Amino acid sequence: MKTKNIFSIALAASLTIVCIPQAKTIDKKAILQRLSLTDKAHFVIGTGMAGMNGNNAVIGATKSLVPGAAGTTYPLDSLGIPSIVLADGPAGLRIDAHRAGDTATYYCTHFPIGTLLASTWNQQLVEEVGKAIGNEAKEYGTDVLLAPAVNIHRNPLNGRNFEYYSEDPLVAGKTAAAYIRGVQSNGVGTSIKHFAFNNQETNRMNTDARISQRAIREIYLKPFEIAIKEANPWTVMSSYNKINGTYTSESKDLLTTILRDEWGYKGTVMTDWFGGKDGATQVWAGNDMLQPGKAEQFTSIVESVKNGKLEKGDLDRNITRILNLIEKTPRYQGYHYSNKPDLKAHAAVTRQSATEGMVLLKNNGALPLRTKASNTQIALYGCTSYDFIAGGTGSGNVNHAYIVSLLEGLKNAGYRVDSQLQKAYTQYISDCKAAEKAHMEEAMKKDKQTAMLAMFLPSPRPIEMNITPEQLNKQAKTAQIAIITLGRISGEFLDRKQADFNLTKEENQLISNVCKAYHKVGKKVIVLLNVGGAIETASWKAMPDAILCAWQAGQEGGNSVADVISGKTSPSGKLTMTWPINFADAYSSKNFPIDKMPDLNMTNQGKAGNNEKNVDYTNYEEDIYVGYRYFDSFNKQVSYPFGYGLSYTQFYYSNAKVNNNGDIITVTVNVKNIGKTTGKEVVELYEAAPNSKKFNKPTKELKAFAKTKALKPGETEVVTLTVKTSDLASFNEAASAWKIDAGIYQLLIGNSSRDIRATLSTSVKAQETSVHNVLAPQEPLNLLHR
């Protein structure tokens, strides 16, 4: 009987294998043999971008396969090779919600911004979000999602920090890997971006990032290396900027020597849209596909092959890689997409994921709200309470069906809101938007091109409405609690202003006056931060009773906030970047384009600049001392440290142990919920190298992290963290090698970079691994040293 069962199982398995349809394949050699030089040059260039003409001429026109998608590849219809569709973006698929002559809608789910997802420190959760985003991409006919974006938070004012994950390469890399795994589990591709050093928006098409080889390796390439090795994205997107004098899309050192020869990457590389200068050089460097395509790129490739400056083999190599990509796509495999993803189910995913990334910065007993929702009247202050921000602008935006504001989220949870205050704010916001619209229309009459480009930029937030002390005193008598929401928005093309980091005088006055009025009658005030990145908090954080950083939580943001402040969910997010006391405290502020005007000409690559510091070039003089590596190593006070975040409960760490087998270091620690509320805890493992000051190393660096399950009061979980010994290496420029200094390494277990709960030590042997000597600065940099 046992033999029969085994045979039956084997037979069923063999029949299952036989019945699986075979994937379609492409005979790449045969395709190459049938292509002319003209065909080949066309094939490595995209089909154009809608709305670009004149000086921005492109080859062909964007195919309307998926209206609103960023681009398509060039088809070879006679050879059975279709165009595949490439679409933004990190917080959800970005396509047009409406189509000409079609009554159906094509809305996509707006998920939380990248910074919020990273703040969950939960790779499994991020992977689930990725699965939902990838499903929408597939069902709407998209083949490659242009995400995730993993560039480092070098400075708080970078306009695209909201898309990025962290100031720390490990957090960024692990988060990106989880996102990629989730999206690609659907059989659609991702494009990890922007490879690399895209840390400012000002003059992003031309600026030269001047960085030491050590910082290049340890900080700026490390998140890409982690994500590429762990998750194998189908494509990599090169960035706009130069690295030490060479456009990244034209750098063979970057795109071939490091990416392929050292990391073993086998996928496809594409440019960012209109990135780089010379098409032939991009092909030679290993940039396989040039998007969205320009006439001069085509000419450059054809002429360079004819005159021998570009090898035919380089062009054929890139074509083969593009064919490898197309071969895997749903479109080539004949997938019948539905145009009907389960948006309701995905709304639930975004709502739950957003709660886990919100960071409780302060709580003096104000949260969670203690009284029954129906018995609680809340006074909502701040324009953003009624005009909630789902995410940033540009390619990171999503055409969503709705946004749940804080007002709506509270009402959905059963809370009552001061109706008179609501009416006043609603009218004020409406008047502000009408005035802004009129201003834009007037600007269009005077300078249509500039005004149209300005439409791509974030709209200015309304100045906070003035509320008199008499009005506040009256409101404080009837409401049980006050919530003030502060909002910040940013996006492509433009870095944030220094004033955007600080509070306005109207915001400061609002916080001060509301706190005075409510505290006078024994009631509490909560400040909610609907922001995409760090803002100044040190000067005012003592006034309110609680501060919750809700980030930009996607379309279900108001519901997600209500879930947290009601106590339905205990906050468990942690900061993935340091919040400085003052903007100037960030060392990179010495070398960042503060309050510079944006360069809105999207296709001015290669034009001579004025050699203006921090615009035409930026010296990364902070070197490896980015974020907490700087603040902690140089003992600088901060408003909130890296890895910080409160909970509605407390956790106790005990029984920490370390095991080192030579290749892998394993740390275990018991984490017990000693509070009265169910909650999750993030455990962070830092290492401190021996003689760190002597060898100019940070005082500590994050090497592993883990998040517990939801622990009930009294429950304990044994958390295991593993570190490869090789990950303890620093980059030695003189030897062009990753080097581990022998000695005793401290392993610091904490729940922020400045709250260490246990310290262990382990002995590590010396190691050295040589790599290629590439990407050196053209001139010496004045680097920061300990």
Per residue in 195-247, pLDDT (tens digit) is: 999 999 999 999 999 999 999 999 999 999 999 999 999 999 999 999 999 99
Q: Give the per-residue pLDDT at 439.
A: 82
* Phi and psi angles of residue 547, each rounded to the nearest 5 degrees, phi first: -135, 125
In a 13 Å sphere around the CA of 72, the CA atoms on its Cβ side amount to 26
pLDDT in tens, 576-620: 999 999 999 999 999 999 988 665 554 444 455 789 999 999 999
* Phi and psi angles of residue 501, each rounded to the nearest 5 degrees, phi first: -75, -40
d(CA 207, CA 604): 12
A 10 A CB-CB count for 375 gives: 10
Catalytic residue among 272, 495, 563, 585: 272
Residue 680 near residue 707, CB atoms below 8 Å: yes
Is there a catalytic annotation at residue 27? Answer: no
Q: Give the per-residue pLDDT at 606.
A: 45
Q: Give the per-residue pLDDT at 49.
A: 72
A 10 A CB-CB count for 76 gives: 18
d(CA 242, CA 245): 6
Rounded to 10 degrees, what is the CA torsion of 201, 205, 210, 215? 60
Spans in the chain with pLDDT lower than 50: 1-19, 53-62, 602-606
d(CA 321, CA 698): 40
Residue 148 near residue 114, CB atoms below 8 Å: yes
Task: List, in order, residues 6 or more apart from 91 with CB less than 8 Å away.
Answer: 110, 111, 112, 113, 114, 163, 391, 392, 396, 397, 398, 554
Q: Give the per-residue pLDDT at 8.
A: 38
A 10 A CB-CB count for 570 gives: 23
- Secondary structure of residue 397 in the 3-state scheme: coil
Strands 579-580 and 617-619: unpaired
Q: Give the per-residue pLDDT at 608.
A: 55
Q: Give the per-residue pLDDT at 442.
A: 81
d(CA 535, CA 107): 32
Q: What is the residue type of 624?
A: I
CATH number of 35-328: 3.20.20.300
Q: Which residue has the tokens 């490879």?
A: 195
> Cis peptide leading into 196, omega within 30 of 0?
yes
Distances (CA, A) of 281 to 47, 308, 603, 604: 20, 13, 17, 17
Domain boundaries defined on the chain:
35-328
Task: Please return the burial class of 448, using the count of CB atoms within 10 Å of its CB with bins 0-12, 13-18 and 19+.
Answer: exposed
Q: Give the per-residue pLDDT at 249.
A: 98
* pTM score of the predicted model: 0.95
Q: Give the per-residue pLDDT at 17.
A: 40
Q: Give the per-residue pLDDT at 165.
A: 98
